[in-house]
Structure 1
């Protein structure tokens, strides 16, 4: 995608992607207004809308009777008052990240839930974005995956055009600016960007309302209060690499034990000056029983947790 844009080479007509949801979001303009201007070429896609806020619908001024009959699905979409989900989605997760003297650590559980159902016990909530950058995802899985792919594409494109990698701060500002037009909608993306650039280790939190914060430690998701209870007590910047690994695993483990929406495995990533590295994925289920057995024998400790 990035190489295509630099070389101006496309497998299909370029205008076909001009009015896509991705293009609308990255341009930072009103999706409803752009959709109205394209008329009968309007693509049908889900647009999140809050019930409490009326949607700007300039297409109501268009004479729909003049539109071809082949665009009946487009007509029905344009006349619709709202695009509603058939049911409310409840979701939760536990993700955390922190800086220390050896780089940046990112950890997350792997349970994806929908309402009261576990949809996937082994989902990927830490997504590599570039060679020096990974992101943790919390919120709606589809929203998070889409925007992380967009961000990865933009980072590669920036490197091709400028012969250098985009800084972590610049990446966070790019994502924040792209998400801000969707403030007040049902879009739900809460991400932390963990990377290393010429300034050293960097950590940013970005939310779907445009919030962008820099910090040394973040935990996001329904299990974050339980993770913070461990992190606040044991975190310090001068930790060794092994201590950082153990702290991240232990914080996620305690969160999954108390939070029903978190569980499965714990994914662990380490970002250094050389780039990101996946440390591994460990199953949390046997850890609970190992800890119980260790408590019976008086130690109460499980190696690595």
Structure 2
């Protein structure tokens, strides 16, 4: 029942993900951070099989760091997304990774951007995207309320609407979410939305 979604606003990108680590009918933990900081201005949010998700995102993170160490300049968000897509495509013909990715970043020339990369190595630059069962509700909510010129406050409000909709509609909804933002000031954690108590508070 994973939920990962994100959007691009006016000069920033924001991604949110549930924090549940589950297997079959068991919940192992409720504080799993599925959004990794690639470098100072990039985030990678992933869903999929836990082993593949952790192994592949760490592999991408270390290779992005290695490129910067060797060449003295960081990869752009587009270059990092294309590298990630290439590695998934190579693995697809050998030992596929069951992992879906939203990569968000900020570049001085291009501004904020968001890339959709799925487990069969499909790559698209998008304004908004989502993976998991929560995508049925978050995508429809974003379709209704999203604007490309949204401020950070408006985007956070939209993310909260998506979380509320997921908790209200999904049969087994994740209780906790983590939200991270990347803009000209860098990549950082914004907040956690914890427990179903928030649903009652929001309803009131």
Task: Work out whether the TM-score is over 0.5.
Answer: yes
Question: Is the aligned partner of 1:141 residue 2:50?
Answer: yes
Structure 1 contact 108–252 (Cα < 8 Å) conserved: no
1:216 corresponds in structure 2 to 127
The one-character-per-residue Cα deviations of 1:71-95 (angstroms, maximum 9, x if unpaired) are: xxxxxxxxxxxxxxxxxxxxx3111
Which of 178, 183, 190 matches 2:100?
A: 190
Give 1 or 2 for the bigger CA radius of gyration. Answer: 1
* Larger strand proportion of the pair: 2
Structure 1 contact 196–272 (Cα < 8 Å) conserved: yes
Q: CA RMSD in A?
A: 1.6
Residues in 2 aligned to 1:139 and 1:183: alpha-carbon distance in whole angstroms = 15
Identify unmatched segments of 5+ residues in structure 1: 1-91, 295-305
| Alpha carbons of structure 1 residues 261 and 114: separation in structure 2 relative to 1, 3 Å | farther
Identify unmatched segments of 5+ residues in structure 2: none
1:107 corresponds in structure 2 to 16
Which protein, 1 or 2, shows the higher relative CO under an 8 Å CA cutoff with sep ≥ 6?
2
Shift of residue 261, structure 1, vs aligned partner: 4.7
Residues in 1 aligned to 2:148 and 2:21: alpha-carbon distance in whole angstroms = 31
2:84 corresponds in structure 1 to 175
Residues in 1 aligned to 2:171 and 2:80: alpha-carbon distance in whole angstroms = 32
Structure 2 contact 11–184 (Cα < 8 Å) conserved: no
SS at match of 1:107: strand
The one-character-per-residue Cα deviations of 1:24-59 (angstroms, maximum 9, x if unpaired) are: xxxxxxxxxxxxxxxxxxxxxxxxxxxxxxxxxxxx
SS at match of 1:263: coil
TM-score (norm 2): 0.92
* Larger helix proportion of the pair: 1
1:278 corresponds in structure 2 to 189
Question: Is the aligned partner of 1:245 residue 2:156?
Answer: yes
1:291 corresponds in structure 2 to 202
Shift of residue 164, structure 1, vs aligned partner: 0.9
Please say which of residues 127-136 and 258-267 is displaced more in the overlay.
258-267
Shift of residue 171, structure 1, vs aligned partner: 0.7
Q: Give the number of aligned pairs.
A: 202
Residues in 1 aligned to 2:29 and 2:172: alpha-carbon distance in whole angstroms = 11
The one-character-per-residue Cα deviations of 1:117-157 (angstroms, maximum 9, x if unpaired) are: 22222211111111110111111111111111111111111
Shift of residue 160, structure 1, vs aligned partner: 1.3
Structure 2 contact 11–111 (Cα < 8 Å) conserved: no
Residues in 1 aligned to 2:149 and 2:113: alpha-carbon distance in whole angstroms = 16
